[in-house]
Chain A
Amino acid sequence: MTTERILNAVVVAGLVLFPIWAWMADEPFMITLATKAAILALAGVGLNLALGIGGLVSFGHAAFFGIGGYAMGILASHAQAYDPIFTQPFVFEGSKSMPVIWLTAILASGLAALGIGALSLRTSGVYFIMITLAFGQMLYFFSISWPAYGGEDGLSIYVRNSFPGLNTLDPIQFYGIVLGVLCAVLFLLARLAKSPFGLALGAARQTPLRVETVGISPYRLQLVAFTLSGMITGLAGALFADLNRFVSPVMFSWQTSGEIMVFVIIGGVARLFGPVVGAILFIILEHLLGGLSDYWHIYLGALLLLIVLFARGGVIGTLTGREAAHD
Chain B
Amino acid sequence: MSLLRLENVTASYGASQALFGVSLEVAEGEVLALMGRNGMGKSTTVKTICKLLPATAGTIHFADHDLAGVPAHRAARMGIGLVPEGRRCFTNLTVLENLTAAARAGEWDLAKVATLFPRLEERKSQSAASLSGGEQQMLAIGRALMTNPRLLILDEATEGLAPIVRQEIWASIAMLKAQTGMAILLVDKSLRELRQVADRAVVLERGETVWRGAMTDVTTQYLGV
Q: Which A positions have Cβ atoms within 8 angstroms of B?
A: 194, 196, 199-200, 202-203, 205-207, 209-218, 327
Q: Would A215 and B101 be within 8 Å (CB), given that A202-B92, A206-B92 are in contact?
A: no
Contact between B93 and A203, CB atoms less than 8 A apart? yes
What A residues does B218 contact at CB under 8 A?
A: none
Q: Would A199 and B93 be within 8 Å (CB), given that A213-B82, A214-B147 are in contact?
A: yes
- Interface hits, B29-77 → A, CB 8 Å: 50, 52, 71-74, 76-77
Contact between A213 and B76, CB atoms less than 8 A apart? yes
Q: Would A212 and B92 be within 8 Å (CB), given that A196-B101, A199-B97, A200-B101 are in contact?
A: no
Q: Provide 7 A-B residue pairs closer than 8 Å at the C-beta atoms, listed in order of the A residue.
A: A203-B90, A203-B98, A210-B90, A211-B101, A213-B76, A214-B101, A214-B102
* Minimal Cβ-Cβ distance residue in A for B91: A206
Per the bound structure, the CA–CA distance linking A199 and B143 in Å amounts to 13
Contact between B100 and A199, CB atoms less than 8 A apart? yes
What B residues does A213 contact at CB under 8 A?
A: 50, 52, 72, 76, 82, 84, 144
* Minimal Cβ-Cβ distance residue in A for B149: A215
* Minimal Cβ-Cβ distance residue in B for A197: B101
Q: Would A202 and B52 be within 8 Å (CB), given that A212-B71, A212-B76 are in contact?
A: no
- Quick one: which of B82, B93, B143 contacts A202, CB cutoff 8 A? B93
Query: Residue B195 at the A interface, CB < 8 A?
Result: no
What B residues does A209 contact at CB under 8 A?
A: 52, 72
Contact between A214 and B144, CB atoms less than 8 A apart? yes
Query: Residue B166 at the A interface, CB < 8 A?
Result: no
Per the bound structure, the CA–CA distance linking A66 and B50 in Å amounts to 43
What B residues does A207 contact at CB under 8 A?
A: 88, 90
Per the bound structure, the CA–CA distance linking A200 and B92 in Å amounts to 11
- Interface hits, B128-180 → A, CB 8 Å: 143-144, 146-147
Per the bound structure, the CA–CA distance linking A196 and B93 in Å amounts to 12
Query: Residue B104 at the A interface, CB < 8 A?
Result: yes
Per the bound structure, the CA–CA distance linking A199 and B128 in Å amounts to 13
What A residues does B50 contact at CB under 8 A?
A: 213
| Top-3 shortest CB links A-B | A215-B76, A199-B101, A212-B72
